Amino acid sequence: MSYPGRIFEFASVVLAHWFAWVSAVPFFIDKALSTLPAPRLKLLVDHYLPEPRRHRLVRVLAVFGFAVASFLAFDEVNTQKKKLESELLDQKNLVISALPTKITEVTNKTSYTALPTDEWIAIKNSERLKTTVILPSGFPRGKVIVVKNTEDNPAMNPVMVRSETSFIDGFEAFPIDSAGSTAFLWDGNRWTLR
């Protein structure tokens, strides 16, 4: 939502709360004090709280009501915003989790060049070969490739990941020497760790 839209939404919520506070609290008090049924009580109220002072009190309560309405509106708008962001994130995660991941298994090779269709590259070398995964250039911007070393003892036989064009965040060859996986992002010019 644009800033003018946010300001309009906030202002409309503030006015709704403020009208509720102003009509419900100050004017109700003013009307109640002006139309007291008991004459003696009315004289007592008029003595301690004459009409000009009552009107001033109503104005002070209206300003106070505006301050309270601002806080209530801020809370309401932020609660709605957080709820919408949460629902949007849930929908986004639902869509992402529903997408299939293409797993490319590379077994007993010393070198593998990633293809544009690769999403997840799983390296398994039962012959204890040192494998290098080469990430070429020319992928669509934002392309992510995950490389996983599926060796039983990955520290003894690390998989090296190289970029065809430049270093990967300062690494000439990035080692994957643990059981985890590493994601690489093509930013349009070079490969970086994600």
pLDDT average, residue stretch 43-69: 79
The pLDDT assigned to 135 comes to 92
Q: Model confidence over 19-45: pLDDT tens digits?
A: 776 666 666 777 777 777 777 777 777
Between CA 22 and CA 14 the distance in angstroms is 12
Q: Model confidence over 117-170: pLDDT tens digits?
A: 888 888 887 777 788 899 998 888 888 888 888 877 777 777 889 998 888 888
Q: In what order do the strands lie in the sheet with 173-176?
A: 111-113, 132-135, 159-163, 173-176
Between CA 35 and CA 27 the distance in angstroms is 12
Q: What number does CATH give the domain 103-193?
A: 2.60.120
The pLDDT assigned to 167 comes to 86
Q: Model confidence over 71-120: pLDDT tens digits?
A: 888 888 888 888 888 777 767 656 555 555 777 888 778 889 998 888 88
CB 151 within 8 A of CB 143: no
The pLDDT assigned to 125 comes to 77
Between CA 51 and CA 41 the distance in angstroms is 14
Summary mean pLDDT of the chain:
79
The pLDDT assigned to 54 comes to 77
